[in-house]
Amino acid sequence: MKKSWLALGCLGVVVVVFLIALTGVWGIYNNLVARSQEVDKQWAQVQNVYQRRADLIPNLVATVAGAANFEKSTLTEITTARASVGQIKLDPNKAPDDPARLAEFQKAQDHLSSALSRLLVVSERYPDLRATGNFRDLQAQLEGTENRVTVERQKFNEAVQRYDTSVKSFPTVLLAGLFHFQSKPYFVAQEGAETTPKVEFNFDSQKPAPAKP
């Protein structure tokens, strides 16, 4: 009789320990799911602002193309850069796990940002264009969108940091691989971003050499 009670007691302890362990694993899994969904949600926001920018570009190009003698090479660069962005297919609702794919996506988007910046600088040569209400509206919308891109990318990186910290922390790290949760890549700062760019509105391709005495 005593042995039966002892066996039942041991079984009860095992069941309690098992339930505690199961609750812990359950909590870790749910936390990883929540962190992962937070990253995916923020990735969708990044994609939304990039899509907003892409949607503005055709109208901008059409408006600028109407300016007399506007540099066709600048418009061609923007059109080509936008097309390159469209060729990189990433799931808009799920953050990429492959750092190389995210780097490729970022490189194309940064190239488009640079092309747009050059277009807005070149437009300074055309006061009639800048006086156009449609152009001013598009310029303001693009500048606002670029600011949103910066904000949403920063929020994405913060969400990834929280997720990656959870994945790599003990004891979660012991179970993350079992549940197929892997670290996610960040957006990285564009090379040279730490240096304030110098913008000069001097459009002379060459300055004449000083006359010799």
pLDDT digits (tens, 9 = 90+) for 30-70: 999 999 999 999 999 999 999 999 999 999 989 888 876 78
b/e per residue 72-106 (b: at least 16 CB within 10 A): eebbebbeebbeebeeeeeeeeebbeeeeebebbb
| Residue 5 confidence (pLDDT) | 64
What six digits make up the tokens of 145?
């969108």
What six digits make up the tokens of 23?
């609750």
| Residue 42 confidence (pLDDT) | 96
- Nearest one of 120, 146, 109, 145 to 64, comparing CA atoms: 120
**53: how many CB neighbours lie within 10 A of its CB?**
23
First to last CA, the chain: 120
pLDDT, average across residues 122-143: 89
Query: CA–CA separation, 18 vs 25, rounded Å?
Result: 10
Classify domain 12-176 at the CATH superfamily level: LemA-like domain (1.20.1440.20)
What six digits make up the tokens of 117?
């910046």
Residue spans per domain, the chain: 12-176
**Mean pLDDT, the chain, as a whole number?**
82
